[in-house]
Chains A and B, each alone.
Chain A
Amino acid sequence: MSFDSSAPADAGPRERPRLRKFAYRGDPLAEPPPPELSEIISRHRGERDGLITVLEEIQRRFGYLGERQLRYVARDLGFPLARIYGVVTFYNWFLLTPPGLHQVKVCRGTACHVNGSALILDRLIAELAIGVDETTPDGRLTLQTVACVGACSLAAVVVVGSDTYGRMSPEEALRTLAALPGGDGDSG
């Protein structure tokens, strides 16, 4: 759900995450939604422009948009699930599967491209042995691309979680990732 990494780094066709086929196991929503979810939903009930805001808030809170959560949103805001799924899959920012501990976003904007961000991405794909929008088997890192975070003067840029790292090279990016908590470079 992000744009093409660049042909040389062909990571294979991108799989769109899908909702699992629904096998009937009784009413999946018989239980009330968790309080945090119902709080978000009820705060925006009745707002005709509220859907995307609700989805954004849920993702911020839970890290991704799970099937049950989307079903609760559909039921409680009165939208067809298909409409919600349509919205979720349209926007790059939404995730349907849980991301790893750290979300690593390699900027693929123009300034970063001119400063070699394709090399960074290629290198991370090779070293982490995962493709874009995939998570390492240990659940530590999810590799993503982003189309510019507005720190173009410091290209090439890599964003990890809410931290922006400027003036990156492939080596520097790998060092940065190794130093993240929960990894090899972690002393604690």
Chain B
Amino acid sequence: MRPATLRVGMSTCGLAAGAGAAHRALTREIALRELPLRLEGTGCLGACHREPLVEVLDGAGAVLYGPITEEAVGPLLDHLSGAGAPVPEDRVVSRRGDRSDYPFLGRQQKLTTQLCGVIDPHSLDAYLAHGGYEALRQARRTPPEQVVEAVKASRLRGRGGAGFPTGAKWEISRAQRRRPKYVVCNADEGDPGAFMDRTLIEGDPHRVIEGMLIGAWATGATGAYVYIRAEYPLAVAALQEAIGQARELGVVGRDVFGTGTPFEIVVKEGAGAFVCGEETALMRSIEGHRGMPTMRPPYPSEHGLWGHPTTINNVETFAAVPSIMLEGPGWFAAMGTERCGGTKAFALAGAIERSGLVEVPMGMTLREMVYEIGGGCRGGRAFKAVQLGGPSGGCVPAGLLDTRIDYEDLRATGAIMGSGGMVVADETNCMVDLARFFLAFTQDESCGKCVPCRVGARKMLDLLTAATQGRAAPGDLRRLESLCRTVEAASLCGLGQTAPNPVRTTLRYFPEEYAAHMEERRCPAGVCPMSGGQEAA
């Protein structure tokens, strides 16, 4: 048989689907049968719905198999050694290197996630072999002002949700005189239903580190933090290991690039508070306090950690930077829309046929995303809505699926781009229940500092709970709408200001569901326990 390399996806998603057992079985069987196969662990290719994934690369091509659970390992190896029957078609994902025979992968344009599922994330050499840290070297030969200009010209906008132009943010930070000056990578990924940052860090941690180091060079920072959630133990470990390797390489540590200047990246683990994804709360948390947001301005770029200039960007924002350096800002900008350059990664999940991590150019329509990439709703059920941006975002109904993925276009629907969570709801999901779900989340995660959010979100939740239990009083709908306006206008930070979004968009696009719950005391999808907590008839 031909020698080959087998890559097994060993990210959190792969492991949850049984990749650990499959990997052990492969190791054992390959040794036992003395096959000329090399086994590699890698990150997530994105096709999480077919996990555990095994890619087989021999000189001739790359065939992607999945799901290859423990039981499927024997038959796969039989087939590879030319002995057994071919692997059943439903366990073959793709036979072509460009994946054009599998639209979920073939229709994507991978930029920040290009090495996820390709390289061994524990190996610095693998990253270096793919041009790793070349962008940083190049940046350090360029005056910082020009690096900032390049990022501006690339039209890169913050991927953490708000879409603030990254170049403009760096320019403000650059102009600050005070030292020390920090860069912070926001890897809190609080949106429940999103896993872009986790995939990136688990699959290609050095890209994020390289992006941060370029950001530090451009802004003149003297130290860095990564704030990452403790719910992602594998990502934390991958990041710490990669920072250690970067230290050996000499790009961080006491003496970077032999210049005699120190630069350290400190990993801080978030302890499970959604609000700590908000930048001012995040800084309070790094400082060792309760993660309460503060008023902006002053913005962190001017007045951040311990009062010092601090540039905060999302994981994906930093991960896009090395490609901008290497391929040029024009190339990056050309991939996106007129207002926003590049690609965006989305976590496609929920009631969708093919879920996973999807990276596409800005400007693709939601319809292409849901139907061509995602394959429509699971089990052939009817699509109802797609929720973007999690608890801060809103839903987009079937009628608006031709909306382009672009900050402004999405905002026009009432939803937001958000950080990339994209959860699909089908006809069996109830939109009032979904709104209540998000309110329960924001209400619980409200830090309690400002009254509109602390009390307003509670009141909204009470109204929605009453509606889902068939206890709505006359006038509740009006009260709900009015509360939406108050909480949105008067809250201190983004958590409260955006908390009404899920309610607003469901009210706007699914008024008949609210009417059914509140007036007829009936849940059309049969999800809500109407009649005061009893099961619906």
CB atoms of B441 and A87 under 8 A apart? no
CB atoms of B16 and A162 under 8 A apart? no
CB 8 Å contact bits of B187-200 with A (1 = contact, 0 = none): 00111111100110
Q: List the A residue with the shortest CB-CB distance to B291.
A: A90
A116 nearest CB across to chain B (Å): 10
CB 8 Å contact bits of B426-442 with A (1 = contact, 0 = none): 00010000101110110
Stretch from A35-43, A96-104, A135-143, A153-161 at the B interface: A153-161
Q: Complex: how many Å from CA A163 to CA B423?
A: 24
Q: Does A109 contact B (CB under 8 A)?
A: yes
B199 / chain A contacts, CB cutoff of 8 Å: 150
Q: Does B451 contact A (CB under 8 A)?
A: no
- Tally of chain A residues near chain B (CB < 8 A): 46
Q: Does B268 contact A (CB under 8 A)?
A: yes
A113 / chain B contacts, CB cutoff of 8 Å: 434, 437
List A residues 118-175 near B (Cβ within 8 Å): 146-155, 157, 162, 164-167
Q: Does A62 contact B (CB under 8 A)?
A: no
Q: Complex: how many Å from CA A48 to CA B273?
A: 21
Greatest chain A CB density within 10 A among B51, B191, B195, B349 is at: B349
B189 / chain A contacts, CB cutoff of 8 Å: 150
A154 nearest CB across to chain B (Å): 5
A109 / chain B contacts, CB cutoff of 8 Å: 192-193
CB atoms of B440 and A149 under 8 A apart? no
Contact of B13 among A6, A7, A115, A151 (CB under 8 A): A151
| Contact size range, B | 35 or more
A166 / chain B contacts, CB cutoff of 8 Å: 13, 16-17
A153 / chain B contacts, CB cutoff of 8 Å: 13, 48-49, 51, 195, 347-349, 355-357
CB atoms of B288 and A3 under 8 A apart? no
A10 nearest CB across to chain B (Å): 7
Q: Complex: how many Å from CA A48 to CA B225?
A: 14
Prevailing SS type, chain A contact patch: loop
List A residues 1-18 near B (Cβ within 8 Å): 2-4, 6-8, 10
Q: Complex: how many Å from CA A179 to CA B425?
A: 33
Q: Does A29 contact B (CB under 8 A)?
A: no
B198 / chain A contacts, CB cutoff of 8 Å: 150
Q: Does B15 contact A (CB under 8 A)?
A: yes
CB atoms of B444 and A3 under 8 A apart? yes
Q: List the A residue with the shortest CB-CB distance to B428.
A: A114
CB atoms of A48 and B288 under 8 A apart? yes
Q: Complex: how many Å from CA A49 to CA B189?
A: 21
CB atoms of B51 and A93 under 8 A apart? no
Stretch from A19-27, A51-59, A180-188 at the B interface: A51-59
Contact of B12 among A52, A94, A164 (CB under 8 A): A164
CB 8 Å contact bits of B249-281 with A (1 = contact, 0 = none): 000000000000000001011111110000000
Q: Does A74 contact B (CB under 8 A)?
A: no
CB atoms of A110 and B387 under 8 A apart? yes
List B residues 315-359 near A (Cβ within 8 Å): 347-351, 355-357
B447 / chain A contacts, CB cutoff of 8 Å: 90
Q: List the A residue with the shortest CB-CB distance to B356.
A: A153
List A residues 70-109 near B (Cβ within 8 Å): 86-87, 90-94, 107-109
Q: Complex: how many Å from CA A110 to CA B423?
A: 7
Q: Does A111 contact B (CB under 8 A)?
A: yes
CB atoms of B423 and A114 under 8 A apart? yes
A sample of 7 more A-B contacts (CB under 8 A), given A154-B13, A157-B16, is A7-B436, A49-B288, A52-B269, A90-B290, A93-B231, A148-B191, A155-B349
The 7 closest A-B pairs by CB, nearest first: A109-B192, A153-B48, A110-B193, A3-B444, A91-B271, A92-B272, A51-B288
Interface residues of B (CB under 8 A from A): 12-13, 15-17, 48-49, 51, 189-195, 198-199, 230-233, 235, 266, 268-274, 285-291, 306, 347-351, 355-357, 387, 390, 421, 423-425, 429, 434, 436-438, 440-441, 443-445, 447, 461, 465, 468-469, 529, 533
